Structure 1
Amino acid sequence: MLNTNKTAILLACVAIMSATSLSGCGGGSSDAKQVDNNQQNNNQQNNNNTGDNSSTQDKLTAEQGYEKLTTNLVDAVITPTYQHVHEQAIALQAQTIAFCADEQRDQNSLALLQTAWEKTNLAWQQARTIKLGPIAETFHYSRIQFWPISADKLASDVESLLVEQTDFSQGVAALKHQVQGLPAYEYIIYNTDMPLIGSTDFTKRCAYLSSIAENVDTMVINSINAWQADYGNAFKAGNGSFSSKKQALEKLLTIWFEYLEIVRDNKINDPLGLEIPGKIELVESVFSQTSVNNIKANVEALEKLYLGSEGFGFDDYLVQVNQREDVNTEISLHFKAVYDALDTTQYKPMKELIATNEGRAQLRALTTAIANLRSLMSSDFVQITGLAPGFNTNDGD
């Protein structure tokens, strides 16, 4: 079980926090594997040219593929993804302590706190794509991030809570979902109408922030423990709540497809609306203006699940079980098209993109790239692998 005694770690984090900087999330392992895939493709092409196929990987049976997939996804993708959220949540707790204790706090120290929140949020945005197991069954998913919710509604609920005689030393786990997770923390530290620095109830707001950070970490630890023990073992073995390894993978793929639709429909199309200026009340992470960065983190996580990080992934299943490197290559190109469309937005705030013709065109191009990826996965990938998600993958294209 994961050790929840974090005092020493928090103190160490406080000492090094000022040296940390916001970094990108999730792309490294996928990039490394993509390089390996490219090298394998080149080697295979050379072998074909010389008539020597001796280095071609042995064909696996479907059951062998399921075994390798379930094991690697739990050990190398899902569990590490949650562990990364845990690491960032500890750092957020440490930075909260440092900021609130600093009598010389200023905009620079607030920026450090915001950076710590952004790192935690981006780590969560990756874990958010894996709505499977305890995170979904215990409502922890909505407690860590209650969304969609309008900025006005969130602000009203948080401010109402702060007016009440709430004892935050007892935690926030029993409160309404929308006031106990990362969006509530975001509101407190980014709100320019009621700035944190200089607020008359600063001590209370600090206690609230600390309780939120600890609450998020507690829920993430619960998922880590489950994936490292009974739930993860059941997923690998295809038993417990799963009828087989294949069914476990199909459940994960169902969630994969559903989240791709959430990105396209809820995170982009809903804020776009029908015309300028769009619907800013539907923008995710509107206070921090990080909604497009969230989308990139989501896509990176979905790609990491597909690739199995640096281990055996669905891409390897296509190649080693189905002998379809061509389809894997096409899927890789579709992921690249999504990243290219994201880069075109220059990661401007969503509220700015939906308010201009140029920005709206860029977002529509992004939804098209996402729809094309989904279409390829729901047709060729599903038909070739025989791994069928538990809903109609051909709707909504």
Structure 2
Amino acid sequence: MRNIQSINCLYQQVLLVGTLVLVGAGCGGGSEKEITPLTPITPITPTTPSGTLDNQFTLWLTDLSNKVILPNYQTLETKATQFSDSGKAFCQLDNAKASDLTELKVAWQELNLAWQSIQWLKIGPILQHNRNFRIQLWPDSRGYVARDVENFLLTQTTLDADAVAKSSVSGQGVPALEYLLYPATNQDSLLNASNKIKRCEVMVAVSDNVTTISGEVLEAWQATGGNYIAQVIGGTGEFTGVKDAVEEIVTNWLEQVERVKDEKMLQPFALNAPGSPSITEFYLSEQSLVSIKANVLSFQQIYSAGGGYSLEKILVEFLGQQTIAIQMNDRLTAAITATEDLSGLYAELLSSDEGRVIIDNNIQKLRELRDILSIDFIQATDINIGFNSNDGD
């Protein structure tokens, strides 16, 4: 087994990507801080079971909600606000420098990583009013994000967050901001574009919209707001019971494992080099790899409930399934460790033999995690999930 606390520390390191990645002038690639190797610990010792499985699930749901979901939504709202403030400050500069734009890009990177860490969750407030798609429409094979941003730039009236919120979902979120911050040509840069004022106006309007959306989701979850957290923990409202809430969340987890494996890695990998780098999640900014790392680290957060009452504890102490618990830990650790080799530019990894071996290894580790999660784990916990593997292997 691996030290869960060490993995939680890695999770925090990825969230601090803004201080670890230096944005270059073209596509925005940079260097990353090395991830500290994990150290083994003594497995949890089984104890005498007590209560019901629903009681155990409630303990996990409580800590997952309070130690993972709420803090991640709080971070998302905070980073959205910070980027919005940074954008307004940048746009007020009379003679913005490259270093000023770099700082703004770092703020966007931090916003994106905050979103990537909670991207997996698809229940409740984030689904209402298409909020998840408004924060990020991806994949975008038809180029809707670029289309909508270009339409914003052509508007004669002043664009604000309300107008953005009423527009197509594709132009409202994180990808739209990437499109403005990392243009394909230097003549469209926020430093020297002929329509710089309009570009700043659009950027501020979109960022304010993201701030509004993230604030709405956070408020809806909080006990002092919509109190959706009570529904999740108690298995009430849209859920038929505690077990149903667990099944929905585990299904979300599995779907994200499959999405990272397929859409973020397997499809760009293609059959042969140089792959298809243009369909990666953040091709313009080269933030696809750090996003994948954040996604994979979030899987450990789900399993451990952020260091709280973990699913491992339920497997070992209540269900007596220590072997499956060991396998789950090993698969999670292997998936996280594999991401340590995802460095540099994604396009370069896709085009080189060595890089393709690294990507293929990451894909395989996610397959192995998916397999134990979708078969052994759900059988041991006696839950039903609405999940089908996409690649059938």
- Give % identity: 31
| Residue 79, structure 1, aligned to residue 70, structure 2 | yes
Q: 1:85 to 1:106 in 2, by over 3 A?
A: same
Q: 1:221 to 1:333 in 2, by over 3 A?
A: same
Give the deviation of 1:350 after TM superposition. Answer: 2.0
Give the deviation of 1:61 after TM superposition. Answer: 2.7
1:310 counterpart (307, 310, 322): 307
Q: Which residue matches 2:86?
A: 95
Residue-by-residue CA offset, 1:54-98 (whole Å, 9 max, x unaligned): xx4754531220221222222221111111101111110121122
Give the deviation of 1:158 after TM superposition. Answer: 1.9
Q: 1:278 to 1:312 in 2, by over 3 A?
A: same
Distance 2:341 2:372 in 1: 22
Residue-by-residue CA offset, 1:231-287 (whole Å, 9 max, x unaligned): 221111111111000011001111111111110111111111222222233111111
Give the deviation of 1:351 after TM superposition. Answer: 2.2
Q: Which residue matches 1:191?
A: 183
Q: Which residue matches 1:203?
A: 197
| Residue 168, structure 1, aligned to residue 159, structure 2 | yes
**Structure 2: 5+ residue runs without aligned partners?**
1-16, 22-35
Give the deviation of 1:131 after TM superposition. Answer: 1.4
Q: Which residue matches 2:374?
A: 378
Q: 3-state SS of the aligned residue for 2:151?
A: helix
| Residue 247, structure 1, aligned to residue 244, structure 2 | yes
| Residue 212, structure 1, aligned to residue 209, structure 2 | no
- What residue identity is the alignment partner of 2:168? K
Instruction: Please tell me the root mean square deviation across aligned C-alpha atoms, in Å.
Output: 2.4
Give the deviation of 1:395 after TM superposition. Answer: 7.2
The answer to whether the Cα contact below 8 Å between 1:129 and 1:259 also exists between their aligned partners in 2 is yes
TM-score by length of 2: 0.84
1:221 counterpart (209, 215, 218): 215
Give the deviation of 1:146 after TM superposition. Answer: 0.8
The answer to whether the Cα contact below 8 Å between 2:286 and 2:345 also exists between their aligned partners in 1 is yes
Q: 3-state SS of the aligned residue for 2:385?
A: coil
Q: Which residue matches 2:285?
A: 288
Larger radius of gyration: 1
Distance 1:275 1:344 in 2: 20
Distance 2:228 2:147 in 1: 38
Q: 1:292 to 1:21 in 2, by over 3 A?
A: closer
1:154 counterpart (129, 138, 145): 145
The answer to whether the Cα contact below 8 Å between 1:89 and 1:120 also exists between their aligned partners in 2 is yes
Residue-by-residue CA offset, 1:6-64 (whole Å, 9 max, x unaligned): xxxxxxxxxxxxxx95259xxxxxx9xx98x93564xx4xxxxxxxx9xx475453122
- What residue identity is the alignment partner of 1:103? D
Distance 1:235 1:100 in 2: 41
Matched ranges for 1:1-397 at <5 A? 21-22=18-19, 38=41, 41=44, 44=45, 56=47, 59-150=50-141, 154-169=145-160, 170-193=162-185, 194-228=188-222, 229-345=226-342, 347-392=343-388, 396-397=392-393
Distance 1:195 1:313 in 2: 47
Which piece of structure 1 moves more, 330-339 or 287-296? 330-339
